[in-house]
Amino acid sequence: MAVDTIFARASGAGKAGVAVYRLSGPEAFSIFRKLVGKPIVNREAAYVAVRDPADGSVIDQGLAILFEGPRSFTGEDTLELSLHGSRAVEEALYDALSRAGARPAEAGEFTLRALKNDKLDLAQVEALADLIDSETSLQRKQALGQLEGRLSEAAERWRKDILAVMAPLEADIDFPDEGDVPAAVAARAGPAIAALKTSLTTFLNQSVSARKIREGVSIAIIGPPNAGKSSLVNALAGSEVAIVSDIAGTTRDIVETRLDLGVVATIADTAGLRGMASDVIEEEGVKRAKKRAEEADVRVLVLDAAAVVSRETLLSGGVENVPRETLDLLQPRDIIVWNKSDKLNAVASPENEHSPYTELSVSAKTGAGMAELVQALTQKAVEGAHHDGPALTRARHAAAVEEAIAALTRAEANIAAAPELAAEDARLAARSLGKITGAVGVEDVLGEIFSRFCIGK
Ligand SMILES: Nc1nc2c(ncn2[C@@H]2O[C@H](COP(=O)(O)OP(=O)(O)OP(=O)(O)O)[C@@H](O)[C@H]2O)c(=O)[nH]1
Ligand SMILES: [K+]
Ligand SMILES: [Mg+2]
């Protein structure tokens, strides 16, 4: 099947000092000759005039680099042009390229070609998308590691290890009369399978923090009405994202804002929690607040330090405006913010040694204690998120490893009585791991993965 030569702007849209255009496919070099005339050296930047082949008029001048396939991003002959980022230049260039026989690329089409030409595997394609989307340095580092092949290498290593365990089982099936008796085979393969299961399980457990880095953490700000939750969210965000007033029940819907806490954090302001909501809208708001509190990775309970008489009575059973039900939403290691410290004569230093929670004295109004709060949130957000080495950054990767572990569990159970079944299970485990790099089942996930790419990538 003939392959089209495709083009797109690789840099962002809009006016820019320089815009980068990419042309890839079998005709890339011949189209380059039509537009530029003179030959240039492979992989060396050259300053050229790009002309309209129709009348020889100059479209723009800029840098051109040719990458002869397969040593290019797509694996095909590729041209990269850096011209001025102007709409008129872009239109004239697209016209000329189309008339010369190329067509505009679809979203992700360059990367898809890189995948098909084995320049990248599926995990690396995902990493590329993650790198382009990265907002924090942890996301960037994790994506870069995966792009360099860390995850792919780990998956491949385990796949080979499983196949190596399987080899003597198969030999036993093929040559039942020679060599090992099943019991001896099982004696050797059983512990090997168990060891593989253990290391895969450890790997899987690490995926929780890897996905946290990629997807971000969710923080819910909860508490009784008028405690200053919205004021606190505004202070964290550094802008007036939520409405503040002295009317209890001001916030009804969830108001979200994003913060860079080393990992991306979504902070949710929520409706004040009280038993007797004033109307059905507030009631719905309270319902949503509780749900968000349950789903969040970290909860921050905001209390008006001047309104709660004693923290001991509060924590031992709840007080009038902070019922037990609200406290029950908290999990150990969540944060309690004693807000409005500016209203107290002496700022009580919050209890941390014996408290199951991290407690902080803060004033959303004056900013006192806010730095400590940001520090505490950052610590909780990145907790366990640092680990070197390969990481299962997506649910898809974790599912493949879970499948492999399940298959190895079956292999372990079958190995003594039915080695041929165990061999089949081991083969399935290896296949599951092959899904990570796309060695297996690549067509099933292509649509999902490439739907998130933009044009020019
Ligand atoms: N003195 C003082 N007042 C504060 C502080 N934080 C908030 N307030 C005031 O407390 C009142 C309630 O603040 P909000 O931020 O609306 O409280 P909320 O918890 O979001 O309230 P609801 O959305 O109704 O549940 C407002 O009048 C704020 O100005 C603070 O640190 N010190
Ligand atoms: K309020
Ligand atoms: Mg509010």
- What is the number of the ligand 1 atom nearest to the C-alpha of 248? 24
pLDDT of residue 389 exceeding 80, the answer is no
Ligand 2 center to 228 CA (angstroms): 7
Task: Give the pLDDT score at 323.
Answer: 82
**pLDDT digits over 118-161, tens only?**
999 999 999 999 999 998 888 999 999 999 999 999 999 999 99
Instruction: Please give the angle made by the CA atoms of 414, 420 and 421, to the nearest 5 degrees.
Output: 45
| Strand, helix or coil for residue 250 | coil
Would the CB of 344 count as within 6 Å of ligand 1? Answer: no
By the 8 A CB rule, do 77 and 66 touch? yes
pLDDT of residue 171 exceeding 70, the answer is no
Specify whether 26 is located in the same domain as 174.
no
Specify whether 65 is located in the same domain as 104.
yes
Specify whether 168 is located in the same domain as 268.
no
The model's pTM? 0.77
Task: Give the pLDDT score at 73.
Answer: 97
Would the CB of 216 count as within 6 Å of ligand 1? Answer: no
pLDDT of residue 29 exceeding 60, the answer is yes
Task: Give the pLDDT score at 1.
Answer: 65
Q: How far apart are CA 397 and CA 123, in angstroms?
A: 9
Task: Give the pLDDT score at 177.
Answer: 56
Ligand 3 center to 453 CA (angstroms): 37
Residue with CA nearest ligand 1 atom 16: 244
- Averaged pLDDT score across all residues of the chain: 90
Would the CB of 391 count as within 6 Å of ligand 1? Answer: no
CATH number at residue 14: 3.30.1360.120
The answer to ipTM > 0.95 is yes
Which residue in the block uniquely carries the two structure tokens 């990629």?
A: 214
**pLDDT digits over 243-261, tens only?**
999 999 999 999 999 998 8
Task: Give the pLDDT score at 319.
Answer: 76
Q: Is residue 457 part of a domain?
A: no
Domain closes at, from 328, 350, 382:
382
Average pLDDT, stretch 201-216? 86
Domain closes at, from 63, 88, 119:
119
The phi, psi pair for 52, rounded to 5°, reads: -80, 115
Instruction: Using most ligand atoms within 8 A of CB, pick from 221, 229, 231, 288 the residue to mutate for ligand 1.
Output: 231
Q: Is residue 455 part of a domain?
A: no
Q: How far apart are CA 39 and CA 37, in angstroms?
A: 7
* Rounded percentage of the chain residues whose pLDDT exceeds 70: 95
Where residue 347 falls (left for φ over 0; alpha for ψ -120 to 50; beta otherwise) is beta
Would the CB of 244 count as within 6 Å of ligand 1? Answer: yes
Where residue 118 falls (left for φ over 0; alpha for ψ -120 to 50; beta otherwise) is left
Give the domain range for residue 297: 216-382
The residues with which 48 forms a beta bridge, in sequence order, are 62
The residues with which 303 forms a beta bridge, in sequence order, are 338
Specify whether 231 is located in the same domain as 346.
yes
Would the CB of 285 count as within 6 Å of ligand 1? Answer: no
Between residues 404 and 176, the one the model is more confident about: 404
Domain closes at, from 96, 119, 142:
119
pLDDT of residue 178 exceeding 60, the answer is no
Task: Give the pLDDT score at 78.
Answer: 98
Which residue in the block uniquely carries the two structure tokens 């300053």?
A: 47
Nearest to 431 by CA among 422, 440, 423: 440
**pLDDT digits over 212-226, tens only?**
888 889 999 999 999
